[in-house]
Amino acid sequence: MGEMSPTNLEKEQKIVADASITNDAEKSDPLGTNSPVAKPIEEATFDTGMFAWLQVLGSFFLFFNSWGVINTWGAYQTYYEQNLLAGTSSSSIAWIGSVQAFLLMLIGVITGPLFDAGYFRGLLYFANFMLPFGLMMTSISTKYWHLFLAQGICCGLAAGCLFVPSVAILPQYFRQKRGLANGLAASGSSIGGVVYPIMLSELQKKVGFAWATRALGFLSFGTILISLSIMRIRFPPKEKRKLVQLSAFKEPGFCLFVASMFIGFLGFYNFLFFVQSFAIDTGIVDRNLGFYLLSMLNAGSTFGRIVPNLLADHIGPVNVLSPAVVSTAVLAFAWIGVHNVGGIITLAVLYGLCSGGFVSLPPVVMASMTPDLRDLGTRLGMLFAVTSIGILIGTPIGGAILANTNKYLGVQLFTACCLVASAGLILALRFLQSGPKLRCKT
């Protein structure tokens, strides 16, 4: 047949070399996610398909039972102040709700790496036992420490096991539509914040507080079962992940973002915890209408979560988060001047609408700032752990201010100033990422 020409010989060597590279890649990357051949196929499987959108539905119910339950606390705060724990200070009662939210965020430092390690379903099984159990124990509680253990500890731990998986699984299925998917899922927390308070208020009138709370437990059990039946991890873990990635704190952008979330959430929940008490105590509304203020706020938050996340896919998550925090801070200042029924209802709806982006976009921002998405669970856990401290101490500080001044002005100023500081740090992050350019996707 004769000898190969130099050109043919080079082609033959290149084919052999390419085959060797491909085989090596398959050994080190059995899923094929880094293979040059598999990559276009992988890209084509993102953002589409019934199974991918089922993950959004499942995540919706995880949000429904994590932040949805936390967002219901304002209704419990008002009920406890006026009935079960009458005579106990607002600050002391607020500790129960703040511990709930604190644990939801704090244990992200554990649940994030557990998710990365493949224990997604184990986290959901634990939560599906602990959350209904906590609510059932709440229904038979008669003392402060009973409520602290049942509602603060049990429900807080359960919510924490639901939250990180609800945001960490979606980037495995979505890229171009990641913001939209996250917004639709995150609307579950505001829908939960509408459904749970209304259920509590209406059932309490008919069957009493105990059975109303048990009904919430049954609902949480059934909806988490839906998530368990349809949700699956797409990329199994390849290696163990650390609980903390300390190298992230060497990144200025990461530090600015974490600091912004800490300060923002230090003040943010004071509005949700005390707006009902404020409206009732100052005579703006009666008790019946007062109990619906939180549901109105969460109804506004539903649209405030979906629309900003949809925009984030097109103009960048930081570009959407910045005005969301600024507008929330402005509304917190506006709280000072509200003295009538129309004003307090409008404020509640607008606060929910504008703050929806503030509470739902951080995971999308963190995903955009994470070089390797396999580290997303760990980084989210770190972010939530720091943020949890702000949530833990923020509302008790607000309650202490209220107890020492007997007026809501101090709480209102504290809430607004924290949000203004958070907005300043977010704008600094935006400047760090894109400089003075106004039209830049970031």
CA distance 22 to 280: 69
Extract the tokens encoding 389: 């401290």
pLDDT score of 16: 41
pLDDT band at 406 (very low <50, low <70, confident <90, very high): low
Q: Break the chain into its structural domains and give their ranges.
A: 49-233+243-434
DSSP state of 4: P
pLDDT band at 68 (very low <50, low <70, confident <90, very high): confident
Fold of 49-233+243-434: Growth Hormone; Chain: A; (1.20.1250)
Is it the case that residue 33 has pLDDT exceeding 60? no
Q: Looking at per-residue confidence, does 235 or 145 come out higher?
A: 145
Extract the tokens encoding 261: 């979330």
To which residue do tokens 């069957």 refer? 207
pLDDT score of 176: 79
- Per-residue pLDDT of 211-259, as tens digits, reads 999 999 999 999 999 999 999 887 766 666 666 778 888 888 899 999 9
Is it the case that residue 27 has pLDDT exceeding 50? no
pLDDT band at 438 (very low <50, low <70, confident <90, very high): low
Q: Looking at per-residue confidence, does 240 or 142 come out higher?
A: 142
* Average pLDDT across the chain, whole number: 82
CA distance 243 to 111: 9
CA 293, 283, 277 angle in degrees (round to 5)?
45
What percentage of the chain has pLDDT greater than the value 90?
30
Nearest alpha-carbon partner for 155 in 101, 95, 205:
101
- Per-residue pLDDT of 47-66, as tens digits, reads 677 888 999 999 999 999 99
pLDDT score of 42: 52
In the predicted model, what is the mean pLDDT of residues 259-270? 92
CA distance 281 to 54: 44
Integer angstrom CA distances of residue 238 from 28, 29, 108, 177:
10, 9, 21, 26
pLDDT score of 250: 87
